[in-house]
Amino acid sequence: MMIYMSFLALFGLVVGFVAVVSNPSPYYAALGLVLGAVCGCWVLVDLGISFLSLVLLLIYLGGMLVVFAYSASLAAEPYPEAWGSGSVFMYVFVYVLVVVIIYMLVGGWQGFEGLFSGDNKLIGQISDCVGVGMMFSLGAGFLVLSGWALLLALFVVLEVTRGLSRGSLRAV
């Protein structure tokens, strides 16, 4: 049963990412973004990293999606393209095909049984509390780099949705 739930989480993660990258409209891509964030944190919970998963989910959904919703509301499209349109379906097909080919090249014939069986070599024997302490002590540089990347992403989103009349930086 655990293998099936883990496979469902990984499948939802891939579907969420494909929904984000294949849809040109920010309204429909937001649902894929939420699905990708939730399923990514679900995969971390399956691997035994529950506290870090909760922190990532709260930070990501609380911070980045607020900025995304604000900028998407100022970039209103009269007729956004939905998931049923032909161009979006073509993008979905190409991205799913790329994911399947990369999965087969990496060694997909072996399956996911070893990943969630408890004897995986990816995580090691570090518990969740020790992992959080190590994240703040040994990973301080990575946390600073991640903060700068989030700040850059904020300015990129604001610039993309700028439009002709100063977009989301204008006085509302």
Read off the pLDDT of residues 35-58 as tens digits, 9 standing for 90 and up: 888 998 898 888 777 888 888 888
Instruction: Note the pLDDT of residue 131.
Output: 63
pLDDT for residue 14 is more than 80 = yes
Provide the whole-model pTM. Answer: 0.61
Who has greater pLDDT, 77 or 6? 6
Domain at 2-169, CATH from 3.30.420.10, 1.20.120.1200, 3.20.20.70, 3.40.50.300 = 1.20.120.1200
CB 127 within 8 A of CB 38: no
Read off the pLDDT of residues 68-109 as tens digits, 9 standing for 90 and up: 777 667 666 667 677 777 878 888 888 889 888 887 777 666
- Domain-by-domain residue ranges, the chain? 2-169
Read off the pLDDT of residues 126-135 as tens digits, 9 standing for 90 and up: 556 666 677 6
